[in-house]
Structure 1
Amino acid sequence: MRRFLFIFSTLFSTFFNAQMKPNLIPYPQSLTLQEGKFIIPETLILNDKLPKEETEYFKKRLGSQVKFQSISSTEKVHVMYMQIPQPKIPVNPEGKKESYSIDISPKEIFISSDTKQGYFLALQTLIQLFEEHKEDGAIPAMEIKDSPKFAWRGMHLDVCRHFFNVDEVKQYIDYLAMYKLNTFHWHLTDDQGWRIEIKKYPKLTGIGSKRKESMIGAYVDNTFDGKPYGPYFYTQEQIKDVVKYAQERHITVIPEIEMPGHALAALAAYPELACTKGPFESATKWGVFDDVFCPKEETFTFLENVLDEVMTLFPSQYIHIGGDECPKTRWKECAHCQKLIKKNNLKDEHGLQSYFIHRIEKYVNSQGRKIIGWDEILEGGLAPNAAVMSWTGVNGGIEATKSGHFAVMTPGAYCYFDHYQGDPQSEPNAFGGFTPLEKVYSYDPVPVELNAEQAKYILGVQANLWTEYITDFKQVQYMIFPRLMALSEVGWGTADPKNYKEFESRVIGQFKVLDKMGVNYARSIYNISGKVIPASSAIAYELTVSQDPKGIRYTTDGTEPSLNSKTYQGPVNIIKSMTVKSVYFENGKLKSAVSSQEFTVSKTTGKKITLDQQPSENYSFGGAFTLVDGIIGNTRQLGKTWLGFQGKDVVATIDLGQKTGFSEVYFNTLENKGSWIHLAKSAQIFVSDDGQKFKMIKEIGKEEIQSSKGKIKLNIGNQNSRYIKLKIENAGIIPAGNPGADSKAWLFVDEIGVN
């Protein structure tokens, strides 16, 4: 093993038993506290033969906390040194190039690793220990033996919807390095902008790197800022600079060049690559668009030439080729595409998608590289050597691994950091969804459906940051922190959801570091979280906070809470329509934003409810109970208060407990076609006394639902039944001319109420 030794010029021994778990993220695989502590000296003595780049990084990170002195390892003094293995001995026989160990005693700090990469990761651990103990001046004695569970621990950044300059991208890479992530997925092309210089095709950046305006606010508002955006792109020299910067931090940069869909910016520059004549322009809206690359020879020549320049800039084994959300509308109408389908005996346009991906993979493989793509590359059959990035859920990863393909797990329900992480009412505008810190921390990248052999094909885990609603780098910081810390521990393999509160305390400890760096992290962890729970009275509202819950103050009359308001002592009973507002005080000082929740109580509130089909994992917060929790969904915030179903009908049965009189039923569905969300096609209401035999009492069609804009309130006459069932029909396959044409529509439903 290569050995790295820290010993300091001023040491003395003191013995103690540390009671606190070290504030390390990700937490090591093995950490044993020892007696004594290591006193941090004024001067740290380093051997001059240590790996230069890694050691310089270490010195810069510690900054003015300690001074440094370099000496030769031949001198008989306390030093940090490295022992080089014999060249003929395999450096990494077990493939654990990121393994390391650290022994901290009252006399020395000793690092062992086979590789510079392991040494670098060990330094990250030491930096965290130095930062944690800089005030008390002593690090507890301990022994650490550590290595990651997963080889791919990644973060993605979309620079197409909104652009971030080189310095900001480097900061992003620094954040990954701090928490031992090793892969940076750089999303460089999309409908809204082409961000990488390709010398053979200058129009890609000359035309495709700008758009005439940008959508602002929620998608349903359909409003624009009227301001030209761009030109914004990275020159090839800037790309090289970023790649080198990442390599110095042992981070692999994976470029993504989208195909065959998400291609409008490229088609704006080179319209001859489309199925129709155009003209085209870079998209000003978010979403999915029908115009995509046409699978003709000139298109493949273009893409091969682009990939040649990309592969010259990026030494990564994998090249990401997108492959997601490719509408087949244009291909269905294209004579060339239909002829190609027949010529190659393809089943349909999905087979043509597979043909496209196979062509690209064959070329990339010929250059000694491999492709990875979003799970839609499974359509029509997976290319022979392709890896899958599973985002729509876990099924793509399961299908890939069961067929012997590698997969990176990045399901939207856990790994999309453009979702809300706190109460949507007090958060900046986000894409949707609700993915709090605890949910990220609970994720296990290995699906339970896989056996041990299949699980070996799970490369790892990644989180994605799409930037439709992220307009500057401060908001990038806000959206990734502290969730990046949870991802870090999940990828390292030491996350333990049962001990989430302990992890949360370590996160709060890390905030001091982020404060020092000037990082704009989300403080949602300090805010009060509310959860509706069943109660004998109907429902109750349970409030939790990361600190002492006795600091919570709340009101139920809609007034703003203060230090003199009611002290929280347990779940608040909700027996009538009301608004609960709450805040958190610590030592008499306000520490949180105001959390506000309005309740609308009806005869179904808190009652037992069952669903024939379960919602999508991305939009399933609270499960079926969400539909009877007394909370009306906010049409601009899809995270906590709606259930989302893709391609499925909603069939909900509610048990009122006893025969109950009622005459009105209400519920809402949502329309946001840009996000593939369509109003219900129809709805039927049934009643029953025994829960077995149901009688339909009301039916409404598409026209009535559309005229009400999805806000359904129905007079059903005087009823007296124990059970009520609603069947809300999904719109089905999205028709041509709409974003996501030919895909399954989403149906979103909120509270089902009865009066």
Structure 2
Amino acid sequence: MKRFLLLFSMIFSGLLFSQTQLNLIPYPQKVIINKGTSEIPNQILVREVNNDSLHLQVKVYNDFLKNDSIRFLVSNHGVPKDTFVGLEKVKSEVDGSNDGYKLEINDKRISIKYHNENGKFYAFQTLIQLIKQFSTGKKIPNLLIEDSPKFAWRGMHLDVCRHFFTVEEVKQYIDYLAMYKLNTFHWHLTDDQGWRIEIKKHPKLTQIGSKRKQSMIGAYVDDTFDGKPYGPYFYTQDQIKEVVKYATERHITVVPEIEMPGHALAALSAYPELACTKGPFESATKWGVFDDVFCPKEETFTFLQNVLDEVIQLFPSQYIHIGGDECPKTRWKECAHCQELIKKNNLKDEHGLQSYFIQRIEKYVNSKGRKIIGWDEILEGGLAPNAAVMSWTGIKGGTEAAKSGHFAVMTPGSYCYFDHYQGDPQTEPNAFGGFTPLEKVYSYNPIPSELNAEQSKYILGVQANLWTEYILDFKQVQYMIFPRLFALSEVGWGTSNPENYKEFENRVVEHFKILDKMNINYAKSIYNISGKVIPSKNGVSYELSTSQNPNGIKYAIDGSEPKSNSATYQNPIPVSQSMTIKSAYFENGVLKSAISSQDFKTSKTTGKSITLEHQPSENYSFGGAFTLVDGIIGNVKQLGKTWLGFQGKDVVATIDLGEKTQFSEVYFNTLDNKGSWIHFAKSATISISDDGKNFKTIKEIGKNEILKAKGKINLKVGNQSAKFIKIKIGNAGIIPAGNPGADSKAWLFVDEIGAQ
């Protein structure tokens, strides 16, 4: 009989759990749904003995409920009759983590056990989400949650240099992090385009460096400007203190970033004597990377130490971010002082000089009881002894750091750059480039697979970055981070599971209701039609999908806009000739999504097997090699889904046509935007083969011909017949002096490789 009752209890519990979906983000480590519910009164009393700060804490918790009718109220007298929260600080760790908590709801009593104040705060964030979900019915399920974060660093970055945001907007940003249990706010305060923090010992930084004469607008290839003065915009030290206090109350650590030795034009505009040349300088009006950087002379280090003294007084964070990225060596190569410094200190080259620079700064920061963290270029020439690495160019920097016993925060652009497109670039606001949809963010695992268990301990966590070249106001900030912040939250908490992405997506949709109440401008890209090109028997097919009912997808292949009575999508659409496919989602005959449009230009290479000798950069690798034969010509203003990007590498592609095929023309496109280190190809070679081993060159062109064609390469090769086509597209190599990013590896972008 007991065995029968146990089995019945397990079945009942399972049924109850399936019927009670908890829309929690991040999802907890352990959830048990029990029988019964507890009422949610308009005032939920909170009790904790000997806690003088409880009133302040409850005020903060209520800030997160300001769009709801329910409030927490402190009560220290007796046991309330209504639903109440009882708090208990426990000596032992909860579920293996100091930041963990145990939340139990049972017959009007809500019990929270925690080890530290972080754990208590996270418990309340979970409780607040539950209240928001179940407030309509005024009943919350009885349950037990045991929870703790996997990673110690769960961060979001905000660039306030390209475009500035007010103190109130920064506070809102911090609220968003706190709501979803992120615990680090990386505040990017200085760059070429603006210096945003008051330094009292060097007032010209904000008097001069906090403004620029105009700003670049439009897509990165347009090179156009608005002609409007920007600034002066900066935060006073009192405002900085206000933000840090606000963040601290929400259990957020604010990590300031003071860029060095590169990205220094705004500082040099105020203090030109800190450069290798005389100037004059001005805050940058363009985006990109610039040759004028801090010169490693004694007065520069004195200046930076003065700056850091004031920064350290303002920010209690363990780490101070010193940038260290994208520092061209052009000026250092031409500078007599720099060359003498290299000889004097037996440095190998200018990369060694960068390491010397970073190590001097680190030694000073360490003397103040703090540590430095920097972008992964601080690995150049050797990593400073106690430095941590923020790995953005991929996972290599973080992997190298962890293997050498240095802490690392993983923030690879291919997963964690929220200035990338999150939906079809043709239906999205202008963005920097790349393609990082919600599902891709959710799929990220911050622990590199090649690290062993001991090395993995050096991965502090994960962070997403929001660079604001193309983000003009705070509404656009909201749009770019939501809903991707939800995915980041769950990745950082350690409960993401790419296999259960659809279940996560369902929770995301429910959280849109919370964002709606808060009047937050979030992206609805997951509602739009997503298109994917797949190989098919006669070339390629176009596969459409949506997070909604797939029967609502309507499409047209004649270039017209789909209507409610257009063809209903059922199977991938064959693309056997050049065409335009437009699609949209309809519900009860009403258009519910943006209209997606995709042009196809088919050729004899479309859908064929292709291999690459060198793989593209992680940031620009969407679709892999197949992107080059999918029938889609890249949009020069959108580096999202349709281009592959290679830094310092040639494109060497071999296309198997399947059988001997006649053709007389080969085409492809490359891009040029030197401000972003993107250069036209320097050469192209076409070869053919019948066996895939022995190739004969049939056409070669050089840089002049590519420049003349402005990157749109269409090569007449005569009447040819072959089974294999090999094309080698030469990368420009090392960027020459006089160009942004000089002495660095150039980017090569290539789209469709076609043959007619």
TM-score tier by shorter-chain length is over 0.9
| Deviation per residue, 1:426-457 (Å, 9 max, x gap) | 11110000000000000000000100000000
8 Å CA contact 1:17–1:35 kept in 2: the answer is no
Secondary structure of residue in 2 paired with 1:65: coil
Partner of 2:12: none
Residues 11-39 of structure 1: CA distance to partner in whole angstroms, max 9, x if unpaired?
xxxx9555243100000011112222222
Give TM-score scaled by structure 1 length: 0.96
Q: How big is the shift at 1:141? A: 1.9
Identity %: 73
| SS of structure 2 residue aligned to 1:372 | strand
Distance 1:487 1:634 in 2: 29
* 1:241 aligned partner: 242
Q: Offset at 1:282?
A: 0.4
Aligned-CA RMSD value: 1.4
Which structure 2 residues correspond to residues 242-641 of structure 1 after superposition, within 5 A? 242-641=243-642
In the TM superposition, residue 630 of structure 1 has moved relative to its aligned partner by 0.3
* Mapping 1:4-403, distance limit 5 Å: 18-47=18-47, 49=49, 51-63=54-66, 64-75=68-79, 77=81, 79-84=84-89, 96-403=97-404
Contact 2:48 2:88 in 1 (8 A): no
For residues 286 and 75 of structure 1, the distance between their equivalents in structure 2, rounded to whole angstroms, comes to 61
- 1:174-196 CA distance string (max 9 Å, x none): 00001000000000000000000
> Residues 469-495 of structure 1: CA distance to partner in whole angstroms, max 9, x if unpaired?
001000000000000000000000011
Q: Give the aligned partner of residue 9 of structure 2.
A: none
Match of 1:728 in 2: 729
- Post-superposition Cα deviations, 1:103-138, rounded to whole Å, max 9, x if no partner, equal 122332211101121111011111111111122222
Instruction: Provide the rounded CA distance (Å) in 1 between the counterparts of 2:322 and 2:17.
Output: 53
Could you tell me how far 1:139 is from its partner in structure 2?
Answer: 1.7
> 1:600-620 CA deviation, whole Å, 9 max, x = no partner?
011110011111111111000
Equivalenced residues, count: 737
Amino acid at match of 2:423: G
Change (3 A) 1:644 1:16: closer
Structure 1 residues 598, 94: CA separation in 2 closer, same or farther (over 3 Å shift)?
closer
Task: Report if the CA contact (8 A) 2:605-2:657 is conserved.
Answer: yes
Partner of 2:23, secondary structure, is coil
SS at 2:741's partner residue?
A: coil
Q: Distance in 2 between matches of 1:207 and 1:25?
A: 43
Which amino acid letter does the alignment assign opposite residue 34 of structure 1?
Answer: N
Equivalent residue number for residue 710 of structure 2: 709
Paired amino acid for 1:62: L
- The question of whether the paired residues in 1 share the 8 Å contact of 2:48 and 2:87 is answered with no
Distance 1:423 1:352, change over 3 A: same
Instruction: Flag the 1:71–1:93 CA change in 2: closer, same or farther, 3 A.
Output: closer
Paired residues of 2:55 and 2:74 also in contact (CA < 8 A): no
Structure 2 vs 1, CA of residues 754 and 241 (structure 1 numbering), >3 Å: closer, same or farther?
same
Deviation at 1:156, TM superposition (A): 0.2
Deviations 1:143-193 (A, max 9, x none): 111000000000000000000000000000000001000000000000000
Q: Distance in 2 between matches of 1:473 and 1:415?
A: 19
Deviates more, 1:148-157 or 1:96-105: 96-105
Deviates more, 1:46-55 or 1:272-281: 46-55
What is the match of residue 5 of structure 1? none
Give me the whole-angstrom Cα distance separating, in 1, the residues matched to 2:355 and 2:162.
Answer: 27
CA contact (8 A) 1:16 1:37 kept: no
Q: Distance in 1 between matches of 2:661 and 2:80?
A: 89
1:618 aligned counterpart, secondary structure: helix
| Distance change in 2, residues 1:254/1:17 (3 Å) | closer
CA distance in 1, matches of 2:89, 2:599: 65
Q: Distance in 1 between matches of 2:109 and 2:96?
A: 29
Secondary structure at the aligned position of 2:342 is classed as: helix
- 8 A contact 1:290–1:329 mirrored in 2: yes
| Contact persistence 2:671–2:680 (CA under 8 A) | yes
Q: For residue 390 of structure 2, what is the amino acid of its counterpart?
A: M
Q: Against the structure 1 CA distance between its residues 330 and 68, is the aligned structure 2 distance closer, same or farther, given a 3 Å change threshold?
A: closer
Describe the superposition over 1:395-436 as per-residue Cα deviations: whole angstroms up to 9, x where unpaired: 000110110000000000000000000000111110000000
Partner of 2:659: 658
Kindly state the Cα deviation for residue 656 of structure 1 after the two structures are TM-superposed. Answer: 0.6
Q: For the structure 1 residues 191 and 95, does the alpha-carbon distance in structure 2 shift closer, same or farther, using more than 3 Å as the test?
A: farther
State the match for 1:4 in structure 2: none
Q: Cα distance 1:75–1:484, how it changes in 2: closer, same or farther (>3 A)? A: closer
**8 A contact 2:103–2:113 mirrored in 1:** yes
Q: Secondary structure at the match of 1:518?
A: coil
AA at the equivalent of 1:355: Y
Please say which of residues 91-100 and 384-393 is displaced more in the overlay.
Answer: 91-100
- Native 8 Å contact 1:17 1:36 kept in 2: no
Instruction: Determine the C-alpha separation between the residues in 2 that align with 1:298 and 1:197.
Output: 20
The separation in 1 between residues aligned to 2:699 and 2:25, in whole angstroms, is 56
Contact 1:18 1:140 in 2 (8 A): no
Structure 1: 5+ residue stretches without partners? 1-14
| Secondary structure of residue in 2 paired with 1:351 | helix
For 1:61, the aligned partner's letter is: F
Aligned counterpart, 1:6: none
Please tell me whether the aligned partners of residues 217 and 429 of structure 1 are also in contact (alpha carbons under 8 angstroms): yes
CA offsets 1:671-691 (integer angstroms, 9 cap, x no match): 111111111110000011111
**In 1, are the aligned partners of 2:395 and 2:410 still within 8 Å (CA)?**
yes
The alignment partner of 2:657 has SS state of strand
What CA distance in whole angstroms lies between the structure 2 residues aligned with 1:20 and 1:540? 40
Cα distance in 2 for partners of 1:266, 1:700 equals 44
Amino acid at match of 1:450: L
Letter in 2 for 1:194: W
Deviations 1:251-278 (A, max 9, x none): 0000000000000000000000000111
SS at 2:102's partner residue?
strand
On the 8 A contact 2:534/2:541 being kept in 1, the answer is yes
Q: Distance in 1 between matches of 2:388 and 2:512?
A: 36
Q: Is residue 616–residue 646 contact of structure 2 (8 Å, CA) maintained in 1?
A: yes
Q: 1:84 to 1:628 in 2, by over 3 A?
A: closer
Give the conservation status (yes or no) of the 8 Å contact 2:362–2:371.
yes
Is the contact between residue 16 and residue 36 of structure 1 (CA under 8 Å) also seen in structure 2? Answer: no
Cα offset, 1:75, TM superposition: 4.7
How far apart are 1:217 and its partner, in Å? 0.7
TM-score by length of 2: 0.96
Check whether the contact 1:37–1:141 (CA below 8 A) recurs between aligned residues. yes
Q: Deviations over 1:78-121 (max 9, x none)?
A: 64333456xxx6x7699833100111223322111011211110
Structure 1 pair 94/369, CA: closer, same or farther in 2 (3 Å)? farther
Answer whether contact 1:680 1:747 (CA < 8 A) is retained: yes
**Unpaired segments of 5 or more residues in structure 2?**
1-14
Deviation, structure 1 residue 595: 0.2
Find the aligned partners of 2:136 and 2:698 in 1 and give their Cα distance.
Answer: 71
